[in-house]
Structure 1
Amino acid sequence: MKTEALYQKIARTIAEQIQSETLQQGDKLPSIRSAQKLYNVSINTVKLAYLELESHSLIEPRPKSGYFVSQTSQRKLALPSVTRIKATEKKETAQDLVDKVFGTIANEDVTQFALGIPGKNFLPLAKLNKAIIKAVKDRDDSATSYEPVQGSEHLRREIAKWALVLEGKITEEDLVITSGAINAIYNGLMAVTKPGDAVAIETPAYFGVLRAIQLLGLRAIEVPTHPVLGVDLDALKEILPQVAACCFVTNFNNPMGFQMPDENKKELVRLITHYNVPLIEDDIYGNLFFGAERPKPCKYYDEAGLVMWCGSVSKTMAPGYRVGWVAPGQF
């Protein structure tokens, strides 16, 4: 077990005082020198502890005044209620929403929350551009040739090595390169459905999935979804015999933000295996974790090859590259 650093212990102690409201919003913390004497540690240790608390928005520095308990530190928003939409067939029209969202992309006065994309200021643009130029030079004339049907062998090999969370369960031969994750989802739906089929989705769901379902002439069945646990598995069990596929975002869901617990993922895989229903798993946000360990996707628990694991570099590198992939299992 990893030993907790001294600055982390101090930060945890202060955080607990804030959460218990021993320290109130607006209260001033001891100065760095006072805290050094109080905890009998170095000044650097206190600075690290305060930086840790500041990174979690628990405290805030004020010029020439010191550190204070943040005004947002004790503001706890209520969880959204579990969606109670009846799990019946419903035709979705997503085009108006899609047009509205993409129509604002060029507007610099709009802060984008509808699209899961990093701000340009966070991207190392110079390094990314330099890497692209180097890659093109290294490939010589092969960069203008057709790739294998599954996509670049080198890229597939690197993705397989990078997918440590699957612990060697996939190789380059198990992957297909796509034009972003939504293309992977679209191809997955095409592979396992036909026009008129029903697809189980979370509610609310990412509008791109609704659009793909609409374009393919499919029908969406919305499943009640918990803001912490994810899809209601009891409700899903009732409709699985009616659907041709499921399409879920299991890690850091868009738009609800939940991370489905491992036990729920195991049960979800057990259910789809029992009913022989493929799951298109959009794991595009899985690498945006800030804990000690990257959360596992449902694909990790899949022994029957029913989970189609989709990902891309849109959220971790740059959305404009349009590089995605799918491990389609038996499909």
Structure 2
Amino acid sequence: MKNRYELLANGMASEIRAGRVPSGSRMPSLRQMMAQHGVSQATVSRAYYLLEEWGLIRARERSGYYVARGASLGLVSSQKSNDVTIEGKVDISTLVFSVLEAARHPGIVPLGSAFPSPQLFPLARLAKSLGHAVRLVNPWSTVVDLPPGNEHLRRQIALRYMAMGIPQSVDDIVITNGALEALNLCLMAVTRPGDVVAVESPGFYAALQAIERLDLRAVEIPVSPETGLDLNALENALNTHSVKACWFMTSFQNPTGTSLSTAKKQALVEMLTRFDVPLIEDDVYGELHFQPEYPIPAKGFDTQGLVMHCSSFSKTLAPGYRVGWVSAGRYSSTVQNLKLMTTLSASIPAQAGIADYLQHGGYDKHLRKLRTALRNQLVDMDGALRRWLPPGVRWTKPEGGYFLWLELPHEVDAMELHRQAISQGLSLAPGPIFSASHGYRQCIRINFGHPLTAKIEGSVKILGQLLETASES
């Protein structure tokens, strides 16, 4: 049975989502709500807090609460095959920031973290490469290494593409400040304010934030934890919406961990080629595969230069160095110019240091060790979840990356579970931050990128207790 504040919040949410309370309207004051519903101030306050967490209302200092812009848009959760959320403005950042800020406090167990354990990286050996490279840096590199970036590094990256069997021109590779900048630059290169972008649902919240920042519109394409992106739903969207770009993660998708099969990747590229729609491919987890070979990205099937393949060293080698890249195909010159116009250049010493490490530091040996560690940690986390979580919680085991997507019993609310978990000293990544329509309220993302210590196992046990309590209420 729901609490009074939840019932009150759900009633108001229904009115807002149905469009019966226009965007920008001022919500009734706490006193008005207390009188109208015969409840306490605490009940109204908690109801408004829930509505704010759901992204339906926004607080204005000394003015009260107002219905959020676009709160009535994007009503479909897109969890069923062929469902496509209607295109609309994205308003996700406040929700994401509130969740991420709560998880930053010292001592919080990072089950909701987006990063693996720093202990998994060869930081000492990388520092040696950085020191060696810095001593050899030519003063003219401040000019020479402007976009597209350090030539030595770009050649090392090109060699890795060649090893995958999808050779890329060194001239098409642009070095960026991490993969996130690469993804944002690609989005800027192919869209203008008001354009429609197809994104995954659930999908990477930074894609939603980029769409929000650039005043674009999102159409959500459902992702199955078992089979990945729904290509039939995508084709429907391409036929019914003026889609200018797609932003997809085809391998070890964040948050579900799922991957498209090789055949589906090829079909995806062929479909987008027919519609002449560019694909921004986020492949930051591709090197973290548990199978013998790197899963060929969608870029491997691109013959028209439509796929902009983005990746970085942040998830595999050097999280703090912020060095990423994009092989941008026909858009490489535009991306390069946008890089010059925005942040000018990635760190020149960091580029040189990583280039030296790739050539002399044993990167592939490190990757084999990293993959083994993550695979073992997946087994350990899977065991802990089976020991401590109640029946009714479901998840699938990915073949790479370090995320698990948990589907919770229907009566559990992920945002409320997140708040309770933070109060118990552990973080979760609740489903609503991965959807423009704030769906997936019965889902959470769990990180297995950290070794299963006694503290982390204890946190999984606490999570199980919170879920049991929520299921009983």
TM-score, normalized by length of structure 2? Answer: 0.51
State whether residues 176 and 327 of structure 1, in contact with CA within 8 Å, keep that contact through their aligned partners in structure 2: yes
Q: 1:299 maps to which residue? A: 299
CA positional deviation for 1:101: 4.5
Task: State how far apart, in whole Å, the 2-side matches of 1:317 and 1:104 are.
Answer: 27
Q: For residue 300 of structure 1, what is the amino acid of its counterpart? A: G
CA positional deviation for 1:122: 2.0
Q: 1:87 maps to which residue? A: 85
Structure 1 98/130 Cα, relative in aligned 2: closer, same or farther at 3 Å? farther
Provide the aligned length of Structure 1 versus Structure 2: 251
CA positional deviation for 1:139: 1.3
Structure 1 143/112 Cα, relative in aligned 2: closer, same or farther at 3 Å? farther
SS of the aligned residue for 1:141 comes to coil
- Structure 2 residue runs of 5 or longer lacking an equivalent are 1-76, 332-473
Q: 1:271 maps to which residue? A: 271
Task: State how far apart, in whole Å, the 2-side matches of 1:82 and 1:93 are.
Answer: 17
Range that drifts further, 143-152 or 314-323: 143-152
Task: State how far apart, in whole Å, the 2-side matches of 1:330 and 1:111 are.
Answer: 44
Aligned-residue CA RMSD (Å): 2.0
SS of the aligned residue for 2:139 comes to helix
Task: State how far apart, in whole Å, the 2-side matches of 1:195 and 1:276 are.
Answer: 19
Range that drifts further, 189-198 or 161-170: 161-170
Q: 1:118 maps to which residue? A: 116
Q: Which gives a bigger RCO, structure 1 or 2 (Cα 8 Å, sep 6+)?
A: 2
Quick one: which of 148, 151, 176 aligns to 1:150?
A: 148
CA positional deviation for 1:239: 1.1
Quick one: which of 145, 157, 160 aligns to 1:159?
A: 157
- 1:120-143 Cα offsets, whole Å, 9 max, x none, are 222233222222111111214245
Task: State how far apart, in whole Å, the 1-side matches of 2:110 and 2:213 are.
Answer: 25
Range that drifts further, 167-176 or 243-252: 167-176
Q: For residue 283 of structure 1, what is the amino acid of its counterpart? A: D
SS of the aligned residue for 1:299 comes to helix
- Structure 1 residue runs of 5 or longer lacking an equivalent are 1-80
Range that drifts further, 206-215 or 163-172: 163-172
- 1:142-190 Cα offsets, whole Å, 9 max, x none, are 4544523211111111111122454242021111111111111111111
What does 1:241-252 correspond to in 2, within 5 Å? 241=239, 242=241, 243-252=243-252
- 1:185-219 Cα offsets, whole Å, 9 max, x none, are 11111111110001111101111111111111111
- 1:215-262 Cα offsets, whole Å, 9 max, x none, are 111111001211122111111001114210110000000001001101
- 1:21-59 Cα offsets, whole Å, 9 max, x none, are xxxxxxxxxxxxxxxxxxxxxxxxxxxxxxxxxxxxxxx
State whether residues 84 and 237 of structure 2, in contact with CA within 8 Å, keep that contact through their aligned partners in structure 1: no
Structure 1 143/118 Cα, relative in aligned 2: closer, same or farther at 3 Å? farther
Percent identity of paired positions between Structure 1 and Structure 2: 42
Quick one: which of 209, 214, 232 aligns to 1:211?
A: 209
State whether residues 87 and 239 of structure 1, in contact with CA within 8 Å, keep that contact through their aligned partners in structure 2: no
Structure 1 274/144 Cα, relative in aligned 2: closer, same or farther at 3 Å? closer
Q: 1:221 maps to which residue? A: 219
State whether residues 103 and 112 of structure 2, in contact with CA within 8 Å, keep that contact through their aligned partners in structure 1: no
Structure 1 194/281 Cα, relative in aligned 2: closer, same or farther at 3 Å? same
What does 1:1-331 correspond to in 2, within 5 Å? 83-84=79-80, 85-104=83-102, 106-145=104-143, 147-164=145-162, 166-241=164-239, 242=241, 243-331=243-331
Task: State how far apart, in whole Å, the 2-side matches of 1:163 and 1:123 are.
Answer: 22
Structure number with higher helix proportion = 2
State whether residues 79 and 223 of structure 2, in contact with CA within 8 Å, keep that contact through their aligned partners in structure 1: yes
Q: 2:71 maps to which residue? A: none
Range that drifts further, 124-133 or 296-305: 124-133
Structure 1 106/88 Cα, relative in aligned 2: closer, same or farther at 3 Å? closer
Task: State how far apart, in whole Å, the 2-side matches of 1:229 and 1:277 are.
Answer: 23
SS of the aligned residue for 1:253 comes to coil
Structure 1 114/180 Cα, relative in aligned 2: closer, same or farther at 3 Å? farther
Task: State how far apart, in whole Å, the 2-side matches of 1:197 and 1:235 are.
Answer: 19
